[in-house]
Amino acid sequence: MERALVLGGGGVTGVAWELGLLAGLAERGVDVSEADLVVGTSAGSVVGAQVCSGLPLEQLYAEQLTPPSGERPARLGMSALARLVWAGGRTRDAVRSRARIGAMAVAARTPSEASRRAVIEARLPVREWPARRLLVTAVDAASGEFVVFDGDSGMSLVDAVGASCAVPGVWPPVTIGARRYIDGGMRSAVNADLASGARRVLVIAPTSVAFGPMPRLSAHVAELRQAGSRVLVVTPDGGARKAIGRNVLDPARRAGSARAGRAQAAALADEVAALWA
């Protein structure tokens, strides 16, 4: 496998920033959306499904600038963060940690699954798995098992992306068959290790926050490089961080985040081109 694009989590502002960055790179002649493998976690699963849909990046970017009428505002406040860290940080066993987070997510008061599914559907212009290899991450809420969905999983793309975006304590776990699933970011905000085997890996990470037994992005990148991959990691610059703000679940900051991503691409285009070409 030659090239992998890894898209990390980061809320609605992360979706916007990633799409802005990708559109800005393409504008400068560096279209990374044609990767052999696309890995998407949480917000990155939305972007991954969108860029694999075949629609132009300019169109996907332009949609981020429109009023977010279908997006419900939410906040992962300090109390919710504290519950998340408390649930998952009391053990060094990663699977047990994720199971505790899953139990917290199942017990939390959230909007209905149906209402949340409608939001995810609205985000996806094409709701069938693409021909290109797309990996979407999630976590089994009961067992804590890390799960990777793809076109051969027998799961709908909408459900897979919804599961990957099911922030514990904010959005409801997604029911697929007899199981319930939560955000793939509870294993890692980026899950860059899934790009193992690719010669060149571009990691776009709105956030790389980790707590408790979560693997750090730096560790996954080191593993990839040790195995022979060339890896470039892109995170928001100062302007993008200001545009994103403190609440990554605030749809009102979507347009500004998209514009900031596009502006950041100007400084990155040569470096990304050197990796990708």
Q: Which of 140, 183, 193, 250 is catalytic?
A: 183
Contact yes or no for 181/174 (Cβ under 8 A) = yes
Specify whether 42 is catalytic: yes
Helix (H) / strand (E) containing 181 = strand 179-183
Give the list of residues 6+ apart from residue 270 with CB closer than 8 angstroms, or none.
none
Say which residue the tokens 């990777």 belong to: 148
Contact yes or no for 185/146 (Cβ under 8 A) = no
Distances (CA, A) of 217 to 51, 134, 274: 23, 20, 22
What phi and psi values does residue 179 have, to the nearest 5 degrees? -115, 160
Hey, CA dihedral for 209, 139, 253, 204, is it positive or negative?
positive
Q: Which of 33, 42, 53, 208 is catalytic?
A: 42
Task: Give CA–CA dist 277/273, Å, rounded.
Answer: 6
Task: Give CA–CA dist 137/204, Å, rounded.
Answer: 15
Coil/strand/helix, residue 261? helix
Return the amino acid letter for 32.
Answer: V
- The number of C-alpha atoms within 13 Å of 109 and in the hemisphere containing its C-beta is 0
Contact yes or no for 240/257 (Cβ under 8 A) = yes
Contact yes or no for 146/50 (Cβ under 8 A) = no
Bridge partners, residue 171, by sequence: none
Specify whether 218 is catalytic: no
Contact yes or no for 191/76 (Cβ under 8 A) = no
Give catalytic residues, as residue numbers. Answer: 42, 183
